[in-house]
Structure 1
Amino acid sequence: MQDNNKCCSDFQSAVDEYLIRHRSVLDILTKHQEAAARVNRAIAKAVTGCGCIQVSAARQSVPETASYSELKDHMSSHLVGEPCPQCQEVIAKELGHSMFYLAALCNLTGLSLHQVMQQEYKNVKTLGFYHLS
């Protein structure tokens, strides 16, 4: 657990050290949104450009008798296949940029990325299926 905290802390410190030009909260908010859009674009390009994954979307089909705890077994991601190594690399790079600006937002607001993640983990584990927000 200590290694995870150090990893988050080291990452957050590096972000604070190297984020020089875009230190305004408005810059960071818009950069974070742009980074999220680039994640979306990387996944879309894996579908439309490379073709290593496909989207096969249809209405979710859930039996009426399925309990709430069984829903996961009947829900589809609508993805077929797996990203190729090149697309995985691009998606990971874009996710990294998104995490960079998330850490920058934590820095500006005085929050610990590790503590935020720990709290969210606790919420998910405690609320389980009811953690839908």
Structure 2
Amino acid sequence: MSAPTLQEFQQQVSELLLRHRSLLDVLTKYSQSNASVNRAVSKAITECGCIELNARHQGFSEEMELDQAMKQSKSHMEGQLCENCLDIVRSELGKNMFYMSALCNLLGISMEEVVAKESDKCSTLGLFNMT
């Protein structure tokens, strides 16, 4: 079974979204689903412990060469999501994408165009794309 395209997924969401058709409803559900993603990742750290977070200053300086900065850059994460946490995070990300798609539908925006434009921007600007 192949994954649906973004366009197919967006169409599917359009057909399924009945209850939350209001822009305000979709905005708040999208925000809520984003918080649920954050909560699921946090629970993987605080309850399960399959991943650990050890955050500290990255130590960048203006004089630092780009390749040195890339080598020094850390995710602050250790470990990997266990199967249970991975399933939960995937599920929450799926809900988040559902409401992102719903928001795109209400605003007349193609998710494929959003991804294509962002990819073009990344290709053009490279590392300087970070905003």
Instruction: State whether TM-score is above 0.5.
Output: yes
Paired residue for 1:89? 87
Q: Pick closer, same or farther for the CA change 1:24–1:69 going to 2, 3 Å.
A: farther
**Aligned residue pairs, count:** 130
* CA-CA distance at 1:66 after TM superposition: 3.0
Paired residue for 1:57? 55
| Amino acid across the alignment from 1:50 | C
| Amino acid across the alignment from 1:97 | K
Asked if structure 2 preserves the Cα contact closer than 8 Å seen for 1:60 and 1:76, the reply is: yes
Computed over aligned residues only, the root mean square deviation of the Cα atoms, in angstroms, reads 1.8
Q: Which runs of 5+ in 1 are unaligned?
A: none
Instruction: Report sequence identity in percent.
Output: 40
* CA-CA distance at 1:132 after TM superposition: 1.6
Where do 1:19-58 residues align within 5 Å? Answer: 19-58=17-56
**Structure 2: how far apart are the matches of 1:69 and 1:118?**
27
Paired residue for 1:77? 75
Q: Which of 8, 11, 25 does residue 9 from structure 2 map onto?
A: 11
Aligned to 1:54, what secondary structure does the other structure show?
strand
TM-score by length of 1: 0.91
Q: Which runs of 5+ in 2 are unaligned?
A: none
